[in-house]
C-alpha cells in the first residue's frame, strides 16, 4: 500500500495551549515533529500550512453566541461569570489571550487536511495539533474550545453532498463532542474506543449511546475497563471497527489518535504501550485503502506524558501515514536536545519493551469484561448500520 502523504502543520498551531502548568501543553507537538525529523521521517516532506477557520466554518457546528464568547475570552473581555456558563474560565479551559485565534488555526488545519485528501492532493494527511473532540456546540470542555473534527466533517458534507464520513476515535476519553454533533446523521459514523465513562471524564460513551432517529446505529461506542492492555484493546478493535466501517462504506476516514491510554499517562487508567499507537494506525490505514481509496486524515488528541510517550506515539503514527519504517532507537541528537529540558529520563527505544509492561494479575478478568462489552456492541449496534 502506497500513496502520497502530507504533514499539515505550521508554528502557529503550537500556540494552542494553556501554559506550562496545564496538562495540555503544545511542547508535545514540537517534541514530536523534531523527533520525526531526527529520525529521518521528514526527509522529502515539507509541512503544509493552511488558513485559519473562518467564522462561517465555525458556525457549521458552533453557535454564534458561543463563538462570540470565545472571542471575548481571548480578547481579555470581562464578564467571567457569564463565560463560565459556556465552559470558559475553568481550570480545564482557562480564558487565555488569543484562544479564539489559536483554536481557529487548529480547526483550519484539520479542515485543510480533509480538503486536501478529498481533492486528491494527498492520499493521507496528518495534523497532530487536531483532535479537540470534547468541544460542544455552545460549550468548551476537556481542553477543547472548538471542535476541529466536527467542523471538518460538517464542511465536507456541505462541499460533497452525499459523502459518508467515518470518524474513528481511540483517545482514552470518549469522543463525546463529535458524537453529539452527528448523533442523528446516518452519513457520519462515529466510533469511539475509550476508558469507560464510569471511571473517567466525560462520563459518557456507553454502548447504549448508539444514535437517534435516522442516525440510530451510527454512533458506536466501546467502553474499555481500566487497565486494559494492548492485547485486549486490539482484540476489541478487530471485533468492532472493521465490520462497522465495511458496513458503512466511508468515502473518507478521519481518525483521532490520542495517546493518553498509555500506562504512563497521568490522567487516565488504561495500560497501553506505544506499540498500540503503531498498530491501530496500521489497521486504520489498511481499512482506508480497502474502503475509500486510501482517503485518511489522522489527528492527534490527548496525551499527557509529554516527554516519554507523546513524541514516540505520534512519530509512530507519522511513520504509518507516510509509509515509512520506524527506527529502533531514539536518535541521539533528539535526546541531547530534549533531555536537559525533561524532568524525567527519556526512553532510548522508539517502541516500548514489552518486558517493562507485564500483564497485571487482573488481565484475564479485564479482557473478559471488555469482550462482554464488544458482544453487546456486535449484538445491538452493528446490525443497525445499513450497508451502502
Residue 257 DSSP label: -
Catalytic residue status for 160: no
Q: What dihedral do alpha carbons 187, 377, 245, 218 form, nearest 10°? A: 0
Within a 10 A sphere around the Cβ of 147, how many other Cβ atoms? 31
Q: Which of 124, 134, 173, 285 is catalytic?
A: 134
d(CA 166, CA 245): 7
Residue with cell 529540558: 341
> How many C-beta atoms lie closer than 10 Å to residue 387's C-beta?
7
With both helix axes pointing from N to C terminus, report the angle between 310-321 and 27-38 in degrees, rounded to the nearest 10.
50
120, 148, 157, 228, 297 from 276: Cα distances, Å: 29, 24, 31, 11, 18
Half-sphere exposure of 288 (CA within 13 A, CB side): 28
Longest dimension (CA), the chain: 55
Kindly give, in sequence order, each residue whose CB lies less than 8 Å from that of residue 247, ignoring residues fewer than 6 positions away.
382, 385, 386, 387, 388
Per DSSP, 302 falls in state -
Number of other CB atoms surrounding residue 294 within 10 Å: 21
- Give the residue numbers marked as catalytic: 134
Amino acid at each position: 500500500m502506497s500513496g502520497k502523504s502530507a504533514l499539515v502543520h505550521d508554528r502557529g498551531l503550537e500556540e494552542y495551549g494553556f501554559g506550562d502548568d496545564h496538562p495540555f501543553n503544545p511542547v508535545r507537538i514540537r517534541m514530536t515533529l523534531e523527533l520525526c525529523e531526527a529520525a529521518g521521517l521528514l526527509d522529502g516532506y515539507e509541512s503544509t500550512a493552511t488558513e485559519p477557520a473562518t467564522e462561517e466554518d465555525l458556525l457549521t457546528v458552533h453557535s454564534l453566541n458561543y463563538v462570540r464568547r470565545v472571542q471575548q475570552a481571548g480578547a481579555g473581555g470581562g464578564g467571567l461569570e457569564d463565560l463560565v456558563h459556556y465552559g470558559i474560565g475553568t481550570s480545564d479551559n482557562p480564558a487565555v489571550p488569543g484562544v479564539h485565534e489559536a483554536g481557529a488555526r487548529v480547526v483550519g488545519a484539520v479542515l485543510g487536511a480533509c480538503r486536501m485528501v478529498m481533492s486528491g492532493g494527498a492520499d493521507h494527511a496528518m495534523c497532530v495539533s487536531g483532535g479537540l473532540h470534547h468541544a460542544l456546540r455552545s460549550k468548551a470542555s476537556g481542553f477543547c474550545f472548538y471542535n476541529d473534527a466536527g467542523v471538518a466533517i460538517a464542511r465536507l458534507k456541505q462541499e460533497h453532498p452525499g459523502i459518508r464520513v467515518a470518524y474513528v476515535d481511540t483517545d482514552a476519553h470518549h469522543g463525546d463532542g463529535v458524537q453529539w454533533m452527528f448523533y442523528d446523521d446516518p452519513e457520519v459514523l462515529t466510533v469511539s474506543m475509550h476508558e469507560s465513562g464510569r471511571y473517567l471524564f466525560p462520563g459518557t460513551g456507553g454502548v447504549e449511546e448508539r444514535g437517534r432517529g435516522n442516525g440510530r446505529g451510527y454512533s458506536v461506542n466501546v467502553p474499555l475497563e481500566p487497565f486494559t492492555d494492548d492485547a485486549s484493546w486490539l482484540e476489541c478493535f478487530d471485533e468492532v471497527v472493521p465490520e462497522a466501517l465495511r458496513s458503512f462504506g466511508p468515502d473518507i476516514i478521519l481518525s483521532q489518535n490520542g495517546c493518553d491510554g498509555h500506562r504512563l499517562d497521568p490522567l487516565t487508567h488504561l495500560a497501553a504501550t506505544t506499540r498500540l499507537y503503531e498498530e491501530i494506525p496500521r489497521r486504520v490505514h489498511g481499512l482506508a485503502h480497502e474502503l475509500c481509496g486510501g482517503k485518511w486524515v489522522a489527528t492527534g488528541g490527548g496525551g499527557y506524558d509529554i516527554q516519554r510517550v507523546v513524541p514516540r506515539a505520534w512519530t509512530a503514527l507519522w511513520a504509518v501515514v507516510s509509509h515509512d519504517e520506524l527506527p529502533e532507537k531514539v536518535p541521539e541528537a533528539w535526546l541531547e536536545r530534549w533531555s536537559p529540558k525533561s524532568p524525567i529520563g527519556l526512553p532510548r527505544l522508539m517502541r516500548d519493551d514489552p518486558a517493562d509492561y507485564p500483564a497485571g494479575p487482573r488481565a484475564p478478568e479485564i479482557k473478559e469484561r471488555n469482550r462482554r462489552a464488544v458482544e453487546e456492541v456486535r449484538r445491538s449496534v452493528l446490525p443497525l448500520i445499513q450497508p451502502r
